Amino acid sequence: MKQALVIVSFGTSVPAARKSIDAVTRAMAACMPEADLFLALTSPTIRRKLRARGEQAFSLEEILEALAGYDRVVVQPTHLLYGIEYDRIRETVAAFARRLPGLVLGTPLLAGTEDLQALAGILLEAHPRSGEAMVLMGHGTEHFANLVYPAFQTVLRLRGCSDVYVGTVEGWPGIGDVIDQLKADGVKKALLVPMMLVAGDHACNDMAGLEPDSWKNQLEAQGIAVRCHLEGLGSLEAVQALYCRHLRML
């Protein structure tokens, strides 16, 4: 049986951030050693930037076009949640269903309650702290799936962790909502961690950047001492294993 594994990511133009995507890709490829590996990037801007640097960069359509003759094609997004991007991937996959009868689509990393509980355990173990709150920076979306972020804070509360806060750059709750909670709870020290696959532009600039409105500077303006962790979730082995668990369920 001829098999293909197509890993789909948004992509990143920050070279140092790519190691998180690469690590997740390697782990998933190792779960399907019999499959030929293909990488698709959903962001046209990032594809353009990479091509301008002389690197190869393909959309999911371009890759699926080339996979006629494969008996089984597994499309696995590296996306954290169901959302606008995932909906588009699903539409593309549906459009190829007749041409590629063995085509299946994997779920995002956080596809249900168990995944949120697993990630909560992973993050608590990865970032041992004492007397320091943890503030997670998610991306956020207008999509209904944005509810994963406040739900994740609730998952942590229900485990007894009242010192972990979840905010988003582009969705709800925002950094203002997080600061209100930090002040109400009398937090004096905080560790900032991206709740994103990669520590790319958002983590480097919106979270840890030098601008006065970066999360780091907004927290420091409130008298909170801040430490920044500049690594994406994809760098954590336990997160790579969670992606692989999803892949094996297909």
* Catalytic residue annotation: 139
Contact 99, 73 (CB under 8 A): no
Asked if residue 168 lies in contact with residue 199, where contact means CB atoms within 8 angstroms, the answer is: no
d(CA 243, CA 148): 17
Token representation of residue 48:
């353009």
d(CA 159, CA 180): 22
Give the DSSP per-residue string, 191-220.
EEEE-SSS--HIIIIIIT-SSTTSHHHHHH
Pair 207, 216: CB distance under 8 Å:
yes
Q: At what angle do helices 18-31 and 237-248 cross, to 10 degrees?
A: 40
Tell how strand 36-41 and strand 103-105 pair up: unpaired
The token pair that represents 72 in the structure block? 């089984």
Q: Given CA atoms 220, 224, 227, 232 in this order, what sign does their dihedral have?
A: negative
Going by the DSSP 8-state scheme, the letter that residue 28 receives in this structure is H
Let me know: does 81 contact 110? Beta carbons within 8 Å.
Answer: yes
